Amino acid sequence: MNLFSDPVPNDPSGHAAAAAVSAARPREAAMAWPEELLEHFCLRMSFRGMCVSRALMLCDRRYALEQLVHAHDMADERLQHMAGQLFRHFEAQQSGIHSMH
């Protein structure tokens, strides 16, 4: 499968496509997001019409930060708050400080 082909026909969730894109990018250590917060973030983004891949949020820093920026730019205070919490967690992880979320 190349990066420009359609997602795997028997995979309606798009996980195979996300895995292919992720495999093509440089390998990074998995991000450890607060599980419940990430779940609520993804659901709230979906409610706002933005599909967020949890798989890519976990393994692709650039993708994750792009999604946080999109969320922060939306007119949804709750989503902006979640994006802020996730970004602070990201910063803490990058600096080696444990998040107090």
Q: 31-48: per-residue pLDDT in tens?
A: 789 999 999 999 999 999
Q: 41-88: per-residue pLDDT in tens?
A: 999 999 999 999 999 999 999 999 999 999 999 999 999 999 999 999
Two tokens, residue 76: 């949804």
